[in-house]
Amino acid sequence: MRIGLRIFLGYFAIVALAGLLLSQVFLAQVKPGVRQAMEDTLVDMANVLAELATDDFLAGRIADGRFAQRVQSLRERDPDAAIWGFAKRAAHYRVYVTDARGVVVYDSTGEGVGEDYSRWNDVYLTLRGRYGARSTPLDPGDPESTVMHVAAPIRDAAGNIVGSLTVAKPNRVIAPFIERSRSIVLTWGAVLLGVALLIGIAAAAWLSRQLGLLRRYAHAVSVGERAPLPRTAGEFADLGNALETMRVQLEGKQYVERYVHTLTHEMKSPLTAIRASAELLEQPLPPQDQARFAEAIRCQSQRLATMIDKMLALAAIEHRQRLEVAQPVYIAQVIAQLVEDSHSRLQSRGQRIELTSDDDALLVRGDEFLLRQALGNLVDNASDFAPENSTVDIEVRRESTHVRIEVRDRGPGVPDYALDRVFERFYSLPRPGHGGRSSGLGLCFVAEVAKLHGGTVELENRDGAGARATLRLPLSG
């Protein structure tokens, strides 16, 4: 089943269930709500009529006094009213009065006079000072034939209950209002359900289209087709951009072509030198020439090996999105190990390291091995460009939330044309003296390590002579 259809069915099921429950609640409350409103009206009317009937009841003329005449006139009156579209042309009330025993002494319909109503709740409860009301069907077999009865007490001058007056009204009178309310609820419920259905169809179609565009794009990319990024909206646009970025990074044709081209170009020079020296060695040569060409082969082979090793190290770190395990690293310990490891190499050129630090407790979080390699590359680079019998300076300083590590040499510095390219892969400058070149991967490796640790690295010329490499790393805590 397609995801758009699944989304639509799930959405519609929730809306339909909510609509059904809501409509049922409304329908269940329509009838009792209307009847409660009618009962409230009957309570007011019963108490008003009880006050009006008190004088005739106490005088013993309740059956033929002015009260009885007015009630009879009410039965003959034509209200000629239109209530919310329903015509009302007659009063549908029944009024009866009982004495203190519950015997009917007056009935506007004349049906119940002389009967004992003391067992009915409206009379029974009212004569005992409580609220009396009941709803009784005229036909036990017809639940819709119920009549609502609401009673009010008749009191003498001392406030004693001496009788009761009941107003009765058939519930059928309000049936049209109930049915119309039910019809309105059902109609609007159906309309809302239909609107929800249309919204669900539109939303599901939109989601399905967005996902379909991205799915077809991903499929085209997976089979190697040239496919433009589809136009999508919202989070789908973000997803599309992420897919496009991933495609560029994974595919990386231009990057791979440039990488391979530069690598093969860099390897051609030492391979050519090795091949030329080997061809010359095949011929009879003086011992000094043989030694010179053999040394050339050794040096170029070492250069190739170094290039391959650094290339592998750089490739490994370039594919790491983050440090898997970041541990506390004391910069002072890393520098101390670096000085020890570099001692022999620098001593062979008469060089030495001078270390300056304002805090031996500077702590960063990261990979100690990678940091030592990166700083080692900076020291090696400074040593290559520094003159013999000179000093390579290392300075460690705290800068607010970062630690700044500077590696300075006293060489010729970096030409202006190369300052923007020193961190490019395979880019290298001829070393002073012998004119040889490095693998061109050392500074690129340093930049990747700095980025992996959330830091930065830069290389610039010093005032006077020499270059300064600055590595900044965020302090831990």
Residue 325: inside a domain, yes or no?
Answer: yes
Q: Which of 319, 352, 385 is the last residue of a domain?
A: 319
Which residues have a Cβ under 8 Å from the Cβ of 406 and sit 6 or more positions away? 393, 394, 395, 396, 397, 468, 469, 470, 471
Tell me whether residue 175 is in a domain.
yes
Same domain, 326 and 382: yes
**Which of 150, 180, 210 is the endpoint of a domain?**
180
Cα gap 36→40, rounded to integer Å: 6
Cα dihedral sign for 231, 232, 233, 235? negative
* 303 and 429 both lie in a single domain: no
Domain boundary among 161, 180, 199: 180
One domain for residues 19 and 142: yes
CATH number of the domain that residue 24 is part of: 3.30.450.20
Per-residue tens of pLDDT for the chain, all 477 residues: 566 566 666 766 777 777 666 666 665 666 677 778 888 889 999 999 999 999 999 999 999 899 999 888 877 777 667 765 666 666 788 899 999 999 999 999 888 899 999 999 999 999 999 999 998 887 877 777 788 899 999 999 899 999 999 999 988 876 776 677 777 777 877 787 777 777 777 777 777 777 777 777 777 766 656 567 777 777 667 776 776 676 665 555 554 554 555 456 456 656 776 777 787 777 787 888 778 778 777 766 766 676 666 555 555 555 554 566 678 888 888 888 888 878 877 887 888 888 888 787 788 888 887 888 888 888 888 888 888 888 888 999 998 889 999 999 888 888 888 778 887 766 677 666 554 556 567 788 788 888 888 889 898 888 877 888 899 999 886
- Note whether residue 24 is domain-resident: yes
State whether 459 and 396 are in the same domain.
yes
Are 301 and 311 found together in one domain? yes
pTM over 0.85: no
Nearest to 95 by CA among 79, 80, 78, 117: 117
Judgement on whether residues 97 and 124 belong to the same structural domain of the protein: yes
pLDDT of residue 115: 93
CATH value at residue 444: 3.30.565.10
Residues 284 and 359 in one domain: no
Examine residue 217 and state whether it is found in any structural domain, yes or no. Answer: no
Q: Are residues 309 and 457 in the same domain?
A: no
Domain identity same for 289 and 372: no
Beta bridge partners of 473: 403
Indicate whether 44 and 59 sit together in one domain: yes
Which residues, other chains included, contact 130 with Cβ-Cβ below 8 Å and sequence gap of 6+? Answer: none
Q: How many residues does the chain have?
A: 477
Domain that holds residue 39: 3-180
Indicate whether 259 belongs to any domain: no
State whether 368 and 299 are in the same domain: no
**Residue 208: inside a domain, yes or no?**
no
Nearest to 64 by CA among 34, 107, 20, 100: 107
Shared-domain flag, residues 361 and 458: yes
Domain count, the chain: 3
